[in-house]
Amino acid sequence: MQVPASQSASSLLLSARPPHRFSCGCGALDVLVTPRSFSAAAHAVPHAPSEPGLAHGAVLELLGPPGIGKTRALLGFVLAERFRERGGEVLVIDADGALLPSLISDTARLYAQHNSYHDSDVQAVLEGVRYRRIDSAWLLIAFFRTLEGWLQEHPNVNLVIVDSLSAHLRPTLDSATRTLIAETVRAALSAVCANGSVSVILSTHLSLKLFGPDQRPSSWSRDAEALLVPQIAERWIPQEVNAWRVLLYYDERGERLASTLSSPTPTLATQASFAMDALGPCDVPEAPLEQSSSPS
Quick one: pLDDT at residue 46? 44
Quick one: pLDDT at residue 176? 87
Per-position b or e across 52-78, b if 16+ CB within 10 A of its CB: bbbbbbbbbbbbbeeebbbbbbbbbbb
Q: How far apart are CA 50 and CA 38, in angstroms?
A: 9
Quick one: pLDDT at residue 214? 66
User: Splitting the chain (296 residues) into consecutive groups of 10 residues, what average pLDDT does each group show?
Assistant: 53 50 94 83 47 92 92 96 92 95 96 91 95 94 96 96 88 81 92 92 79 64 62 77 93 94 93 94 76 49
Of 30, 72, 19, the closest CA to residue 54 belongs to 30
Q: How far apart are CA 41 and CA 249, in angstroms?
A: 31
Long-range pairs for 131-134: beta carbons < 8 A, 24 or more residues apart: 131/92, 131/94, 131/101, 131/104, 132/91, 132/92, 132/93, 132/94, 133/94, 133/97, 134/93, 134/94, 134/95, 134/168
Under the phi-then-psi rule, with left for phi > 0, alpha for psi from -120 to 50, and beta for the rest, what region is 64?
left
- Reduced to 3 states (helix: H, G, I; strand: E, B; else coil), residue 248 is strand
Please answer whether residues 162 and 216 qualify as being in contact, where contact means their C-beta atoms are separated by less than 8 angstroms: no
- Does the bond joining 197 to the residue before it have cis omega, within 30 degrees of 0? no
Quick one: pLDDT at residue 246? 96
Quick one: pLDDT at residue 43? 44
State which amino acid sits at residue 197.
S
Of 227, 239, 281, the closest CA to residue 258 belongs to 281
End-to-end CA distance of the chain: 86
Predicted model pTM: 0.84
- Residues in a beta bridge with 257: 249, 273
**Structural domains present in the chain:** 21-33+52-283 (3.40.50.300)
DSSP structural state of residue 22: B
